Amino acid sequence: MFNRDNYPFAVRIQWSGRCDAAATQAQWAKPLVHLVDDDDDDRAGTEALVQSHGYRLRCWPSTASFLAELDDVEAGCVLADLCRPEFDGLAALRRLTELPCALPTIILTRRNDARCATAAMKAGALDFLEKPADAAALRSAIEIGGQYLARWRQQVVAVHEARGLIDALTPRESDVLTRLIAGSSNKAIAHDLAISARTVEIHRAKLMAKLNARSLAELIRVAFTAGFPDT
């Protein structure tokens, strides 16, 4: 399965226009598919199969061309033949799983190699399919990738919204929040900031309201989602 552990922290998610919060669930249920294949005939066959299922598709004529554009590619499922003797596909796969933008990768190859399949899955591949791909198996793999992308998008939206709330705080409120996250008491915060305990309580109440938090735990969760205080 796709290695979700490579995306554990909100601070690793980048917000961009390509990850528009206004995108509908229907759009993400039919994710963009990046088809990466150096073999023209294989690419044409897979292209027809993917398009027959109604997915958005972008074709890449080579692995090198795709890797060269990684910084700007739109999130989506990747169909790629990364198991070739002349190419370090596992290194490329690891690079994909380390990107902030989600690119769950399905390996399509003519190599019936159990060692290659095992290594690819350990490196973070979503699935490993032999060419020519079975239509049902390919569709199932892309659907699983689409489900992951939908969850990733929800997390991106949550991060964006949390950062917006954090950005609206005053410098003093940020100071208080930093100390609350560190576990400081109102009295300790008052001492650190040279203000009264009552003033700390007022700032704390404002923080709860601005961050839409009903408890200290929720307050901290919003902060962590936004990557605060390291944003």
Quick one: angle between helices 135-167 and 40-52, nearest 10?
70
Q: What is the pLDDT of residue 100?
A: 63
Q: What residue ranges of the chain are covered by domains with CATH 1.10.10.10?
A: 168-226
Q: Choose among 147, 161, 143: nearest CA to 4.
A: 147
pLDDT at 71 (0 to 100): 79
For residue 87, the Cα-to-chain-centroid distance in whole angstroms is 26
Task: Please give the sequence-ordered ranges of beta strands (E in DSSP) within 51-177, or none if there are none.
Answer: 56-60, 77-80, 105-109, 127-130
Other beta carbons less than 10 A from residue 99's beta carbon:
16
Token duo for residue 50: 């993917």
The verdict on pTM exceeding 0.85 is no
Model pLDDT for residues 139-154, shown as the tens digit of each residue: 999 999 888 888 888 8
CATH of 4-160 among 3.40.190.10, 3.40.50.2300, 3.30.70.940, 3.40.50.720: 3.40.50.2300
H or E element that contains 36: strand 32-36
Reading across the β-sheet that carries 105-109, which strands appear in turn? Answer: 56-60, 32-36, 77-80, 105-109, 127-130
Rounded to whole angstroms, how far apart are CA atoms 106 and 57?
14
Structure tokens at 13: 């998610």
Dump pLDDT digits (tens) for 43-69. 999 999 899 888 899 999 988 888 888
In the chain, which residues fall in CATH 3.40.50.2300? 4-160
The pLDDT value recorded for residue 21 is 42
pLDDT score, position 11: 29
- For tokens 């699935």, the residue is 127
What class, spelled out in words, does domain 168-226 have in CATH? mainly alpha
At position 119, the amino acid (one-letter code) is: A
Q: Where are the beta strands (DSSP E) in 140-187?
A: none
* Mean pLDDT, contiguous 10-residue spans, the chain (231 residues): 33 37 49 89 90 90 86 86 69 75 84 80 86 89 88 87 95 96 95 96 96 95 91 48
Per-residue pLDDT, 112: 72
Q: Give the length of the chain.
A: 231
Q: What is the pLDDT of residue 192?
A: 96
